[in-house]
Structure formats: structure tokens, C-alpha cells
Amino acid sequence: MSSRSSGSGGSSSGGGTGATVPLAVLLRREVATERTAAERPELQTGLFSQAKKGEDFTFLKPECERVPGVPSSSFSAFGLFDGHNGNGAAIYTKENLLNNVLSAVPADLNREDWLAALPRALVAAFVKTDKDFQTKARSSGTTVSFVIIDGLIITVASVGDSRCVLEAEGSIYHLSSDHRFDENKEEVDRVTESGGDVGRLNVVGGAEIGPLRCWPGGLCLSRSIGDQDVGEFIVPVPLVKQVKLSTAGGRLIIASDGVWDALSPEAAFNCSRELPPEPAAEQIVKTAVQSKGLRDDTTCIVVDIIAEKSNSSMPLPKKQPGIGVFKNMFRKKTSSDSSSHADREYMDPDIVEEIFEDECALLSRRLVPNFIFIAKYCKN
């Protein structure tokens, strides 16, 4: 039966018998339609890389489905894998991590439950990927920055020193952590309290040089996938952050340390602000290389999240200080909560709608291959 809206007097026009629809119902329908559109923003992506060792690998899959053939289960996934001591771990993780995430979540969950389960599924997937890679008997390792975008919800899991940074309405947010010992006192404490040794390389005469490393093995990262030959204290458990954007959208930069060793997050956003994602990624990489030289593989992924109702198709608007798009749902972070000076400098907890954050140190040592895998490692 077709429906008609009522006239100003509340009765239907003419002599027909069509049912009237109250104005409040029509307004609710319109709001629901707008909410659905806003919750499925448009994504625009860009990628650029300059190789030195050929150990950086990327994963860009804007169209994924949790349930094949069901469009309502769609999401997007992006990953950056910066390998070391060979590319085996980076390639293996790129090829298997997403499948391990999906395997850790029941396929019949609705969207709300899927998003609630996703942070722990990412932890489970990182640990499983690492455990499975150990059977390959390879010595390589990799950093991972893995991003899943479902509507306006961004979930990031990371190990190592590749970074994911968000700019939204003039504010910058770190969605990952730097797991280099030099940058992360909490990780130094975790390793030493578990029985590991963290120090610099000793040379003839007793002088110490280079970055802080974990011994035995000498790796300067506290968390990675792979690296089974560098000791049990280098673990694959990621920092996981899940936040919700407003309908204003934002821009993500996912980049390897070749970028972040040369550019601050502000410099990366500023040098690319007037550019769409593809040339923005190129500009960021070229600016980093121009600053420090091509000392390492230098890779950048740019993702613009554009709400349906906004008029922006990027470039991003000029930065306006003091405007935020998030609200803290749980608690304020004190400076002691943050894992590095950079995190404290760029994250303002008062304007972040933080749905989930955990960097569980419950698993303080790397699992061995014959360990019976259990999915739950985190606690709120």
C-alpha cells in the first residue's frame, strides 16, 4: 500500500483512503538514511615507495567482505610490512594475516558484534601468524601496521616501527606505537622484568654504540612477527586501537620508518595537504628521501575517508587548531600511559572517541610452535 504525507490539517488530501505517515516517522527515516550513508564513507587511496633493500610490502584491499556475497558485511583493509633480515616474514604476513583475522571471528556476527570482536581477533591473528611462520624455519622478521576500516570505525594493530597516523579536523592522532627500545621505555621495562637484557652494542674498549637492542639477538625492536632467532622476548602481540570518526572524515598516513625517521607527522601532513592520496603519498616519500637520503626502503600509504554528506573530495581543508572530532569514551590518558614522547605530543585525549586500546604485555615471551593456540590474550 502506498503512503502519503498528511496536509497541514492532519487529514489526507482528496477522497482517497491512503494511510498517512506522521512527520516524526518521516524525519526518523530521513535521519536513519543519512546515518547509513555517513557510516559508509568513500575511501580514496594512494601508495608510493622507493626501495633500498626491497623489504617493504603493502596490502591495499578497499573492498572486502566478511561473508562472501553479502555487501552489508563489507570493510576495507590496508597493511604495511617492513621486513628485516630478508623478506620472508613480510611476504608471509601479507599473504596470511587477514585470513587469520577473519578466522578468529564467527562469520554470523552482526556488524556491531564484529566490530566489538575485532580488536581481540587482530591480537589472535598476529600471534597465530607469528606461530605459523616459525614452522618455516626462517630468520627474517617484519614490522606490521594493519588497518581495518568499517564505516567510520578505524581499527589499527601494529608491531614494530611502522606507524599509522590520523589527521581529522585539524588534530593529529597516533593510532600506533613505536616499538623501538630507544623510543619506548615501557617496552624496555617489559623485557628486563621478564629476564631479558637491553643495551647498546659494546665495542673494543668498552664503548657503547648504536641503538638500544635486546640481547641475545641484538634486535632494536621489542615487537615483531618472525625473528625467532633473536630470543623469546621479542613478541608479536600488537598495540590495538579502535576509534570512531565523525562524519567530517579524515586522512590516514601509514608509513615505514624510512618516512618517520625523516618527517614528523605534522611535516608529513603539511607537505601533502593540498594533494589527493596518490600524489600525496609520493610527495611524502620524496620529501623524506630529500631530507635524509634513501637510507632504507621508504613507503607510504595515504587513505582519505570522505563522508557521503561532505563536499570534500580532498584536498583536505587547511588545518584549524582547536577543532576535534572524537570524544573519549573511557578515561583520560596521563602522560605515563603513553608509550613515547611522540604519542604524548600529538594525541589529545579530550577529543578522541576511543572505543578500544590495548597493548597487552600478558604474553611477555614468544610462543613456541607446539603451543596450543588460545585466542584470548587481552583484557580491558
Instruction: Give per-residue pLDDT as tens, 16-40.
Output: 445 666 666 555 555 444 445 446 8
Quote the strand ranges of 135-222, DSSP E.
141-142, 144-150, 153-159, 163-168, 171-174, 197-202, 208-215
Which grid coordinates are listed for 343? Answer: 604519542
So what's the pLDDT on residue 39?
Answer: 65
Residue with cell 639477538: 217
111 versus 204: the higher-pLDDT residue is 111
**Distance between CA atoms of 338 and 360, rounded to whole angstroms?**
14
Orientation angle between helical segments 111-134 and 88-103, nearest 10 degrees: 140
85 versus 377: the higher-pLDDT residue is 85
All CATH 3.60.40.10 domain ranges in the chain, comma separated: 44-250+320-358
Residue with cell 611502522: 162
Helix (H) or strand (E) holding 56: strand 56-65
Instruction: Give per-residue pLDDT as tens, 133-184.
Output: 988 867 899 999 999 999 999 999 999 999 999 999 889 999 999 998 888 8
So what's the pLDDT on residue 7?
Answer: 41
325 versus 237: the higher-pLDDT residue is 237
So what's the pLDDT on residue 25?
Answer: 57
Of the chain, the end-to-end C-alpha distance in Å amounts to 50
pLDDT above 70 coverage of the chain, percent: 70
Pick from 329, 318, 258, 333: which is nearest to 288 by CA?
258
So what's the pLDDT on residue 44?
Answer: 97
Q: Is 15 exposed, middle or buried (0-12, 13-18, 19+ CB in 10 A)?
A: exposed
CA 147, 148, 151, 153 torsion-angle sign: negative
Provide the mean pLDDT of the chain. 78
Instruction: List, in sequence order, the alpha helices (H) in the chain.
Output: 23-38, 88-103, 111-134, 185-193, 257-260, 265-272, 277-292, 341-346
Please say whether the structural domain 44-250+320-358 has been given the CATH code 3.60.20.10: no
**Distance between CA atoms of 144 and 133, rounded to whole angstroms?**
14
Which grid coordinates are listed for 357? Answer: 586500546
DSSP 164: E
Structure confidence at residue 359 as a pLDDT band (50, 70, 90):
low
Which grid coordinates are listed for 10? Answer: 492532519
Which grid coordinates are listed for 45? Answer: 587511496
207 versus 186: the higher-pLDDT residue is 186
Q: Which residues have CB under 8 Å from 5's CB, separation 6+?
A: 20, 21, 23, 26
Torsion of Cα atoms, 119 then 268 then 246 then 46, to 10°: -80
8 Å CB contact between 156 and 330: no
So what's the pLDDT on residue 203?
Answer: 81
Instruction: List, in sequence order, the alpha helices (H) in 104-142.
Output: 111-134
Which grid coordinates are listed for 225? Answer: 612477527
Q: What are the DSSP calls for 333-352, one per residue?
A: PPGGGSSSHHHHHH--GGG-
8 Å CB contact between 81 and 54: no
Per-residue burial over 96-113, b = 16 or more CB atoms within 10 Å of its CB, e = otherwise = bbbebbbebbeeebebee
Q: Describe the chain by its helix, strand, coil percentages, rounded to 5.
A: 30, 30, 40
